[in-house]
Amino acid sequence: MMSPGATSNTTPDSQSLRGLPRSELLAMYTAAGEATACLAAMAGRGINPTTEAINGAPAVEEWAHFPPSDTVDPTTYSRVYYHAHSADERVPGEHGHFHTFVHTVDADGKIDAHSPFAHLIGISTDAAGNLIRLFTVNRWVTDETWFDAEIVCSLLDRFHLTNTESSSDLNRWVQAIMRMFRPQIEHLIRSRDTAVAAFHAAHPDKDVLENRALRVPSEMPVDFLAQIRAIELALTGDEAPEPAA
């Protein structure tokens, strides 16, 4: 269910991806291969991104973080955790979602796990670990430090989970998804700011970043296999086949 004030977005197709530099498309395609390899490795152990995230917990407490203290890379200070909302606050088919962040330098020019952080993107999955949605959140949702969209987009390149004690396959999968869907993620981050500005214009007497009426400023459904096909079509220049009559 889309939260109040959220904007509806459609997934860019091969036509929109075709305008990207070939180097960008190849990086996305490489990331798709990495994500596929991670899925295969997890499937070989009888798990998927969702079950790996909750570490086989027989029951998932609503709002609890998995892992409890989040996964934080001690070198890049990238952060990720998985959790599930109450059933009435999930989109159809959603089991839960990953929140991704990067920490930034503080007033003294230092960076560590206690430094200000920016939320990058939310990644929703179903119980089988299938990717179903990408979304942004309002500031109050994660208590982040708010940065303009262009700054957040520039921070995407800093997200790396290369030196953690948690599942390397899951960490690599999250990283690959963020690279594979980079155009959509940047689109959603910019749409976030557009929605926030529109909400503020409609409610000038309220602090929009703290307004509980606006939880998810932008979101879009996504499909893993459809994205791979769109990248392939953009790389080859072929036209998507017409649907069968």
218-234 pLDDT tens trace:
999 999 999 999 999 99
Residue 46 has pLDDT above 90, yes or no: yes
Residue 237 has pLDDT above 90, yes or no: no
d(Cα 90, Cα 157) in Å, to the nearest integer? 29
Most confident of 49-58, 133-142, 156-165: 133-142
What pLDDT band is residue 241 in, cutting at 50, 70 and 90?
A: low
What pLDDT band is residue 20 in, cutting at 50, 70 and 90?
A: very high
Hey, CA dihedral for 38, 39, 43, 47, is it positive or negative? positive
Q: What is the pLDDT of residue 14?
A: 60
What pLDDT band is residue 2 in, cutting at 50, 70 and 90?
A: very low
Kindly give, in sequence order, each residue whose CB lies less than 8 Å from that of residue 138, ignoring residues fewer than 6 positions away: 196, 208, 209, 211, 214, 215, 216, 217
pLDDT (tens digit per residue) in 170-210: 999 999 999 999 999 999 999 999 999 999 999 999 999 99
d(Cα 84, Cα 54) in Å, to the nearest integer? 10
pLDDT (tens digit per residue) in 75-115: 999 999 999 998 888 999 999 999 999 999 988 888 988 89
Say if residues 116 and 159 touch (Cβ distance below 8 Å): no
DSSP output for the chain: -PPTTPEE-PPP-HHHHTTS-HHHHHHHHHHHHHHHHHHHHHHHTT--HHHHHTTT-SS--TT--EEEEEEE-TTT-EEEEEE---GGGSPTT--EEEEEEEE---TTS--STTS-EEEEEEEEE-TT--EEEEE---HHHHTPPP--HHHHHHHGGG----S-SS-HHHHHHHHHHHHHTHHHHHHHHHHHHHHHHHHHHH-TTS-GGG-TT-S-SEEEE--HHHHHHHHHHHHHTPPPPPPP-
Mean of all residue pLDDT scores within the chain? 90
Q: What is the pLDDT of residue 8?
A: 45
d(Cα 128, Cα 152) in Å, to the nearest integer? 30
Q: What is the pLDDT of residue 57?
A: 78
